[in-house]
Every structure is written in C-alpha cells, then in structure tokens.
Amino acid sequence: MAQITKTTQRDVPLDKVRNIGIIAHIDAGKTTTTERILFYTGKTYKLGNIDDGTTVTDWMDQERERGITIVSAAITTFWKECRINIIDTPGHVDFTAEVERSLRVLDGGITVFDAEEGVQSQSETVWRQADKYHVPRLIFLNKMDKLGANFKGTLEMIKDRLGVKLAVLAYPIGAEQNFKGLILLLEKKALYWDQDATGINFEEKEIPAEMQAEIAQARHELIEQICAEDETLLEKYLKGEEPTLPELKASLRQSVIAYKLVPVYSGSSLRNKGVQPLLDGVIDFLPSPLDVPPVLGINPKTGEQESRGPTKEEPLSALAFKIQVDPHVGKLTYLRIYSGVLKAGSTVYNSIKKDEERIGRLLLMHADKKEEIMEGYAGEIVAAIGLTKTGTGDTLCDHTKPIILESIKFPEPVISLAIEPKTKADQEKLGLALNRLAEEDPTFKVKINHETGQTIIAGMGELHLEILTERMRREFGVDATTGAPQVAYKETITKIAEGEGKYIHQSGGHGQYGHCWLRVEPKPRGEGYEFVSEVKGGAIPANFIPPIEKGAKEAMENGVLAGFPVVDVKVVVYDGSFHEVDSSEIAFKIAGSQALRTAVRNAGLTLLEPIMKVEVTTPEEFMGPVIGDLSSRRAQIMGTEIRGNARIVIALVPLAEISGYSTTLRSLSQGRANYYMEPSHYQEVPKSVIETIVAKRA
C-alpha cells in the first residue's frame, strides 16, 4: 500500500478537477488513448501497449491476454495544474454495465471514433447512454493514419447518425500514411509530430500554403457556430469585430456544458500524435464538478426532492457505483462523492439499506495501484474498504440529513447456462465465488433451478459468461464445468383475463382457507410488473393482500407456459373470501399463486425472445451468401451500407439463431468478414417456434 498522499497533490481547487470517461466502440482506441494521456501527463514513464500487454488500465491478466478492456479502471493524473480523474471503460457490449455505471458518476467524456470506420453500433449505443446521463463530451477522431481514414466523411456520419452540432477545433494535416499533424483552428497554429517517436515534442509551424483557404473557411464556420450560441458575442461578431480567443473559449465551454456543441479533435493515439491538444480540450471545455448542476435526490423521511451542491460544507452524499473484489484488501466500493467530506474511520448512513456502515480505509485508485488517503472531498472518486452491506447504486450520506440519489439501471441478462463444480471441494467455493462476482457485476445473475437442482448463471453474452467462469478459476480457485448456453426467453400475455384461486385444507383442528380472484392485464413491452388491490368492502382483510401478491409473484418468476419468467403484466386482486378462524397468510399465498396461473393461462400466453442487432462487415463478393445465411436465421435485414471497400449488413436476429455464427461467417467469407452484436429488444416468438421450445422443456 502506498504512503498517505501529500496534501499538495490533492489540494487542487474544485474548478481545476475533471472527472472524465473514455467511451467508444470496441477497437476504436480507448485504452491506447488513455495510455498516451497517462504518458504525456507524466503518470507513466513508458508508453503502454495493448499488444505487448503493458497497459496500465488493462491490468487484469485476461484483459492483457485478450487485448480487450473488461472492467472499467479509475486513474488520477495531472495536466497544467488540473487534476483529471479518468475512467477507461470497456467497448465490448457484454460489459455494458461498466459503461452505464461509469457514465452515471462522470461529469464529462471523450468519445473516441475510428476515422476509417466512423460511427459503429456500439459507438451509437454509448453515445445514447451518455445522452441519458447528460454527460458533456469531446470527440477524438482516432487512427487518422489508418488506410481509408476519412476526416470529413466521418464528421458527416457523426452529424447524420447522432444528430449533434460539431465544433471542429483540431483539423488534420494529411491522412493515412501522409498524416503529419494538426491545425488548431482557434489559435491558427499548425503542430507537427515529425521528429519524436514518443510524441512528447512537436513543432509549431505556419499553416501549409495549400491548406490556407480551406482552414480560413473552417475557422470562419467555427467562430460563427460559437457566436450563434452566445448573444453577446453574436452582437460583437455582427458588427464585424472578431471575439478574442479567451472570449471564444469561454463561450464554447458554456455551449459544451449545455450540450449545444461538441468539440472535435483528431489524431492517432498509437502513433503518438494529437493527444496533447485533446488534453487541453479536456481542461478548456469539459465541466468541473462546480459546472455540473447540484445533484438531486429524495429525502427518505419526507419524500421531498432535495439537492446537494459540490462543496465540503454541504452534508455528505456519495453514490456507490462499482464493487470490486480485490485479492489483497477484500471488497472495494468505488464512490463518487457529490457533497461534503468522507473520512476514513467514520460512520455513514446507507439510505437504501437503512443501515449504518463504517468506512475502514479510503483509497485513491490508480488502476490496480492504490494510494491511501484520510479524507475524500466533494467532486472526488474514491474507493472505500470495510463496507459490508453497500451494493452498486446505494447512497451513502449523513444520517442526520439522509438523501437517496438516483440509482443506476442495468439491462436484463439475455443468455444463461448451467454451471456445476468439478469436485466436492469446489462445491462450497463455487457459491462464494458466484456471490462475490454477482455483487461486483449487476448484469450477472445466479439462481437455483429447484426442479433440477442446477445452478444457472445468466449474463449479457457468451463472452461475458466465459470470462466470469475463467475469473472463478483464477481468482477463487474454483474449477467448474458449464452446459451449453440457453437463451433467456420470457413469457407474457396478450389479453385481459381472470382467474380464481382457492385453497381449502381440513386436517382436524385448525384448517387452511384462502380464496381470491385475480385479473391480469398486458403492459407495454419492457414496463415490468405491477400489483394493484381493488378489493372492496373487506372481502379480503388488508393483511392478506401482501401474501396474495407474494404468491402471484412467485408463480410469475417460475413461469406458466415453459418455466420462463412472466413479464409486462399488471395483476389486480379484486375479490375473494376469507374464514374468520381458518384463513392464514400461507393459504392466501397459495391461492394467489393458483389464481395467477389460471388467469395467465386464459390470457393468450406467449413467449418473448431476445433480438440482437447484428452488424456484419464483409467484402462485397460475399454479401449475397451473408444475407442468405442471415435470412435463414429468421433475421430481419434492416439495411446495407458502404464503408470504404467493405459492405455493412445491419440485421435484427433472434439470439437463439445466432449461436456458432462466427464459425459460419468465417467459412462463408474465407475468414474476411467479421461481425458485431448487441442486444436490441424482446419480441414475440413465432407460434411454430413456441411449440418446439415448449416441447423441449416438457
């Protein structure tokens, strides 16, 4: 463990702090960009490389072996007297929870795009996630040196696909193998990275003569854009007076924070070009904790909305956004402190669990390295040791001034498989390992199938479950075998229906009596479950309503048609009867379960299946066979695009039909096509397919 931090390092005013995330599609260059930022800010003394397994933020063995980011890593660094807390997030859709929880606690972001590929599926997904949490961001067009890099084409694609107003600040000089440097439009400077392989040193030169007209036009458009969002500057500009550089930057900063404009930088992280101007952009245009509106929450005592400003003087409020099991120190809880001061050794109140927790130690995280601190302040991201009850999305606060901050919503798992220990010795360890991993990852679910006695694990994709199984072996020493992946179907209803449940049992002495009528109504897709009581005149005493709901809920979880959970249903209890002596909670619970099953069977029961959005990139000559194969998998072809020399086929395909697709695609295209897949939505399964699924489950 590192020494306690010197206060001078952390004694940075809050307006000089930036909490940022780096988000993008898989392989756009997030981790490489993060590594360059750490190198140029003096955090590391050697350029980390994914291929060599020497990156700082991809610190897990599996990340280094596979060359992908699996868990988000937090790291603190400094640039021009500002402190930057960076979270490098995964690009792979199987780890979408890591992106979701990171964006929830960040103030700003850098979205990395591949200058040749443009806007890919996951870049669109993470962009929408950032929109949901109102995260202002910069764009970094990476890989300007790559064959097929197209600066203007990618800008058009971003405008078209994402519907944003772009403010280009760093214009590339050349492209592909001729990419030499950047022109900073506002400053009218050309920067060349010709001499130094590490990219630390660059030269300022005149703007190339052949680009002067183009740059003058681009700069004119940029200034117009900035002034259009600022009445004071617009007035000045319309009088023929150009605003000063500080005025333009200050105005652009306000527009970025208000989501009106998105600054664009370009470069090549791998070739060490263009990262320093991007860092300047983070300082100049992304918000500090002071620029973000005060965080809102609900007072659990009054139910009223309250706010907390980002100052040390306000009462404490912090959100637990990530749990990590560390082999050396145990459970780490990552916290974003929104207000007040969090002290090591202090007692805090968990307003979700309604319980007190003691903070053992506080750490500043530098990927897998830790620095111990005594206090965490408003605006900081820290990790705490010693919290036993706190989970992802919980709020920690002052018990005298409680508040519940907005939690984090995660997508439901789409795939599951059975898992069993190889030996008796692994049996006990398996339960512990699964619980620890489920605590860390909210999209990883574990349940026991009571009929078969099997343990079922569910997650966001095959890669997700494969990596978690591998982590069990490496981190917890559990050897386990897994069955074939199973699709997470769901059951739902298509019409309103009613059902009666009656449980009467006489066995001498006190009997059992429970009787209720339920009505079930379909709800829109994705709206979940709702329970309402319309019982009038005391037909069923109020204390027996919760057991009816409990019985109905259990029946829904276990399924009626084929054992899959029933979703998107409103359940109404509207009538029934009771016995003065024999009625009991257990009798009404059983009656509720019976009534639910009867009602659902009468309500046009059907199955829902997860539909995946699939994007196949293929050379033109294989497009016919690729589309033919997708059609045979019940795919709905949404369209095709041309991107450079490749053809992109976009389709919606049932997850059940896509297993083993990578092998088929390789053989169809002589290994030259690849695909990307992400969950899209649930939709009804065709009748003929339902019969097959039900028959298999019988």
* Known binding-site positions for GTP: 24-31, 88-92, 142-145
Tokens 């086929």 sit at which residue? 649
Bridge partners (DSSP) of residue 78 are 83
Bridge partners (DSSP) of residue 23 are 111
Tokens 């008796």 sit at which residue? 424
What CA–CA distance (Å, rounded) separates 182 from 302? 55
DSSP 643: E
Bridge partners (DSSP) of residue 137 are 109
What CA–CA distance (Å, rounded) separates 368 from 291? 30
Give the angle 99-104-106 at the CA atoms, nearest 5°.
90
At position 451, the amino acid (one-letter code) is E
What CA–CA distance (Å, rounded) separates 640 from 460? 26
What CA–CA distance (Å, rounded) separates 498 from 495? 10
DSSP 441: -
Q: Annotated binding site: which residue ranges? A: 24-31, 88-92, 142-145
170-173-175-181 Cα dihedral, nearest 10 degrees:
-80
Buried b (16+ CB within 10 A) or exposed e, 662-675: eeebeebbeeebeb
CB proximity list for 395: less than 8 A, separation 6 or greater = 297, 317, 318, 319, 320, 350, 351, 352, 403, 404, 405
Using a CB cutoff of 8 Å and minimum separation of 24, what contacts does 406-412 make?
A: 406/296, 406/297, 407/352, 408/100, 408/101, 408/104, 408/321, 408/442, 409/100, 410/97, 410/100, 410/101, 410/442, 410/443, 411/96, 411/97, 411/100, 411/443, 411/460, 411/679, 412/443, 412/488
Whether 503 and 591 have beta carbons less than 8 Å apart is answered as yes
Phi and psi, residue 602, nearest 5°: -90, 0
DSSP 411: P
Q: How far is CA 639 from the centre of its chain?
A: 27
State the Rg of the chain over Cα: 28
What CA–CA distance (Å, rounded) separates 499 from 675? 47
What CA–CA distance (Å, rounded) separates 92 from 51? 17
Bridge partners (DSSP) of residue 297 are 306, 405
At position 685, the amino acid (one-letter code) is V
At position 530, the amino acid (one-letter code) is E
CA distances in angstroms from 132 to 104, 123, 128, 135, listed in the order given? 9, 14, 6, 8
Establish how many alpha carbons lie within 13 A of residue 642's alpha carbon, considering only the half-sphere containing its beta carbon.
5
Whether 515 and 502 have beta carbons less than 8 Å apart is answered as yes
What CA–CA distance (Å, rounded) separates 205 from 184? 11
Using a CB cutoff of 8 Å and minimum separation of 24, what contacts does 664-669 make?
A: 664/629, 665/616, 665/626, 665/629, 668/622, 668/625, 668/626, 668/629, 669/618, 669/619, 669/622, 669/625, 669/626
- Give the number of other CB atoms < 10 A from CB of residue 275: 25
272-277-281-284 Cα dihedral, nearest 10 degrees:
140
